[in-house]
Amino acid sequence: MSLFTRDLHIVLLLTALTLAAVFIPQLNSTPLRVIFGLPFVLFLPGYALIAALFPGKGDLDGIERVALSFGLSIAVYYVELVNYPHTIRFQKMFILK
């Protein structure tokens, strides 16, 4: 049994392609940044969380996995948005000392 399943390998590949599309200057000005960026923001965080919570293939159907991935991605970003002011204050606390 491998450490990652095939779907998590695809998540890692899409993450690498998104980072390349954002940070390589020749690709940064192309539509590839948007094509890889939208799934990275709206789908992949929730899918990685679903893969961690329900690792078995028989736990969820494909359509359930996709629907929960979109919902959990939005929820993850909402939690990050709510906690963002606290992280800024936490960083300033360590910078000032």
State percent of the chain over pLDDT 90.
13
Count CA within 13 A, CB hemisphere, residue 78. 7
Distance CA 60, CA 51 (A): 10
Question: Does some domain include residue 34?
Answer: yes
Domain that holds residue 89: 6-96
Question: Does some domain include residue 58?
Answer: yes
Question: Does some domain include residue 61?
Answer: yes
Question: Does some domain include residue 41?
Answer: yes
Judged against a pLDDT cut of 70, whether residue 59 lies above it is answered with: yes
Q: Report the b/e string of 41-60 with b at 16+ CB within 10 A.
A: eebbbbbbbbbeeeeeeeeb
Question: Does some domain include residue 1?
Answer: no
Q: Per the structure, how many domains does the chain have? A: 1
Judged against a pLDDT cut of 90, whether residue 34 lies above it is answered with: no
Question: Does some domain include residue 80?
Answer: yes
